[in-house]
Amino acid sequence: MTDPDFHRQWADFYEDVDDVAVSLGLQPVSADDDHVHLRMPLQPHIRQIAGMFSAASLFGLADVCATWLAMRHVPQGQFPLLVQSSTNLIANTSGGHAHAVATLVKAGRTLVVAQVRVTDDTDRVLAVVTNTMVPR
CATH number of the domain within which 52 lies: 3.10.129.10
Q: How many domains does the chain have?
A: 1
pTM of this prediction? 0.94
User: Does residue 1 lie within any of the structural domains?
Assistant: no
Using DSSP's 3-state secondary structure scheme, residue 110 falls into: coil
How far apart CA 30 and CA 101 sit, in angstroms, is 9
User: Does residue 69 lie within any of the structural domains?
Assistant: yes
The answer for 25, left when phi > 0, alpha when psi is -120 to 50, beta otherwise, is: left
Which residues form the domain of 56? 6-135
How far apart CA 90 and CA 39 sit, in angstroms, is 18
Instruction: Encode the chain (136 residues) as per-residue pLDDT tens digits.
Output: 467 789 888 888 888 777 889 999 999 999 999 999 999 999 999 999 999 999 999 999 999 999 999 999 999 999 999 999 999 999 999 999 999 999 999 999 999 999 999 999 999 999 999 999 999 9
Q: What is the C-alpha end-to-end distance of the chain, expressed in Å?
A: 29
Cβ atoms of 56 and 63 within 8 Å: the answer is: no
* Residue 94 backbone dihedrals phi, psi, to 5 degrees: -115, 25
Spatial neighbors of 90 by CB under 8 A, at least 6 apart, are 125, 126, 127, 128
Residue 7 parent element (H or E)? helix 6-16
